[in-house]
Amino acid sequence: MRIATIGMICFLISLPRIVLSQSFTVDTLHAREIRIDPSQANGAELADLASSVEYIPLETTGKSYFGKIDRFEIVNNKFIIYDGETDAILIFDTKGRFINKINSIPNTKMSKGSRSLTSFSVDRVRKQIVILAVTADYKLKLAVFDVTGKYISTADVKPADPLARFNMFYALGNNNYTYANTLYNVPKNLIVPDEDKRFELLWGTSPALLYYRFLPFDFTHEVTGSDAQGASFYHSGDTSAFYIKSFRYSVYKVSPHSVKRDYHFVFPYSMTLPETFFTDKLLDGKRDAYLERHNKFITTIDAFYQAGDHLLFSIKSQEALSVVGSMFLYSLKSEMLYALENLAPAEMNNYLPLFAESEGIHVADNNAVYTSVSSAMLLKSKEQMTPDRIRKFPPELKKFFSKATVKENPVIIKVSIKSDI
């Protein structure tokens, strides 16, 4: 999804830049080991894991209509949603009321048809939405909006700025940014002479030409060329983020001036990518096909969040684990692993769809995990219900079902996790 933007950004980079070397903490040795077998995950009753479940329909009007939740952030009691289908950032309050929509940047002509607003991040300290936008004439701009969607400013991004040089960025609050460098389609002969390309994470402010490099690539375990996969940042705190790279089972926490490997996952041998996956030259350019054939290998940890003493994450492999699914909750205290998709609808959630029918974990924040379900799915489940269950719906759900159609926006599910599992 980000490939187009990545391509455009790479297209623009070329100028020299200034790099500071400064004292910096990089800790990759003291990670907590999470040793789990996803196929042996536990099931549970909803009441064992959750204290409450809330269904929040997102208001559907001509202006707020959107397709799919591609990114989801919560800041200042607001849902910030990016929908790639309409290329818009939509803002709802936590009751689902529509507040605003950003689908353009004032005085800027955007390149049409592409996901031009997909590169955005939320500065949780300044309570701002920061968008790295590609204009119609392939210039980069950094636009800033407040969290109600009100436009604040636009600035040009100089080609030497790390924002322009690296594939992904994430706001660490207070104008601090971290950047991830993936070697997707980067020719090998460029990697060695370009020192920046030898590090996978950077940190800096913007606009600035000053930035810091850290976490050098481990080229013995790095897949490059067309096999290279993306990296992702996930919300961790106001001034930090979790950083995860595909084909690697480690979770790093990045904050200004430091990166620490927080967790390292160990999976059963039959699910773990073998050493030869990285080193076998014969696999170059064919790793997709290899993974299709060896479909049990876990390729990535996705949607990783921490809510108190609980880790919430998805595990991706080509073959789905039929009973347990791919979404999990891990208790750091009890070291128990729970399969979220196996949670059966219960009285607590009025027997409505849960994780099994959901669009995956969107975000975890303040001991609550957020996911969503299509209105078509909700309507279908209601059709199959007995009248006495329908009668027990809370007023807001009754109101939703009284007028909802399949064309309604998705419905957010907020599951509050019990503190003591």
Partner 1 sequence: MISGNKWFAAILLICFAAMSSKAQQGEIRGMIIDSAFKLKLPSATVAVYTEDLTLVQFTLTNNFGAFSLKAIPLNKPLRLYASYTGYRIVAKPFRLDSAHLINDFKAINMYRDSITLKTVVVKSVVPVRMNGDTLEFNADAFSLDKNAVVEDLLRKLPSVTVWGDGTITVNGKKVSNVYVEGKPFFGGDARIALQNLEKASVSKIQVYNDVQPDKHADTLKSMNVVLKDDKKTGFFGKAGAGRSLNRNLNDVDLAFNRYSPQTQLGIAGNHNSINKRVNSLNQVFLNSTYKGSLTDDYSTDFSMLGDNKSTAAGLMISRDFLKKPELHRSNQLSGEYFFNKTLTDIRNTTRQTYNFRPDSIQQNEQSEFQQLSPESHQLIMSYLNKKDKRQLDVSLNASNVQNRQLREQESITSRNGEQAFRRTEKYQEDNVTNTVDLKAEYDTRNPAATKAYKGMKVDLFYSYWQEKEDGIKKSELILIDNPETGQLIDRKFNGITNKNRLGANLQGDISRLVLWGAFERMRVNVTLGNAFSYTTTGMDAKVQQYDTLRKAYFVNDYLTNSRQYYLLEETPSLEFNRSFIRASANRYSKALSLAVRLPLAMRFEKSRSEKSFQHYDLGYINLLPSLLINYNNSSVGKHQQRIGFEINFTLIYPGMQMIAPLVDSTYDIIQVGNTLLKAGQELSYKLSYTNSYRDFIFSMAASVINTSNALTTNSTFDEYNRRYLTYMNAVRNNNSGNLELKLRNSYRLSRDNQLQAELTSKNIKYQVTNYHGGNENIVDGFYSSNAVNLDYTFKTLLQLRGGQTFSFNHLKHSYLKTSYKISSLISYVNLQVNPVQHVFVRTDVKYTRQYTASASIPYSIWNASLGCRLLEKRNLELKFSAMDILKQNQSVRNIADDLYVNLSSTNMLQQYFMMSVAYYPRKSGKGK
Q: Which residues bind partner 1 (CB under 8 A)?
A: 40-45, 48, 66-68, 85, 113, 185, 226, 286, 289, 319-320, 322-324, 339, 342, 344-345, 356-357, 359, 374, 376-377, 406-407, 410
DSSP 45: -
Q: How far is the CB of 56 from partner 1 (least distance, A)?
A: 17
**Taking Cα atoms as reference points, which of 116, 122, 403 lies closest to residue 238?**
122
- Residue 350: Cβ within 10 Å count: 18
- CB nearer to partner 1: give 134 or 172: 134
Please say which residue, 44 or 147, places its beta carbon nearer to partner 1. Answer: 44
Sign (positive or negative) of CA dihedral 346, 351, 352, 355: positive
Handedness of CA 135, 165, 245, 144 (dihedral sign): negative
Buried b (16+ CB within 10 A) or exposed e, 169-193: bbbbbebbbbbbbbbbebeeeebee
When the beta carbons of 122 and 339 are compared against partner 1, the nearer one is: 339
Minimum Å distance from CB 231 to partner 1? Answer: 17
Spatial neighbors of 367 by CB under 8 A, at least 6 apart, are 307, 308, 416, 417, 419
Question: How far apart are CB 390 and partner 1 at their closest, in Å?
Answer: 18
Three-class SS state of 136: coil
Nearer to partner 1, 288 or 420 (CB): 288
Minimum distance, C-beta of residue 357 to partner 1, in the bound complex (Å): 8
Of the CA atoms within 13 Å of residue 119, those in its CB half-sphere come to 27
* CB 40, CB 169: distance < 8 Å: no
Nearer to partner 1, 84 or 256 (CB): 84
Give the nearer residue to partner 1 in terms of CB position, either 137 or 395: 137
| Closest distance of CB 92 from partner 1, Å | 17
Rounded CA gap, 119 and 267, in Å? 32
Cβ-based nearer residue to partner 1, 225 or 256: 225
The distance of closest approach from Cβ of residue 275 to partner 1 in the complex, given in angstroms and rounded to an integer, is 24
Q: Rounded to the nearest whole angstrom, what is the least distance from the CB of residue 289 to partner 1 in the complex?
A: 6
**From CA 254, how far away is CA 242, in angstroms rounded?**
6
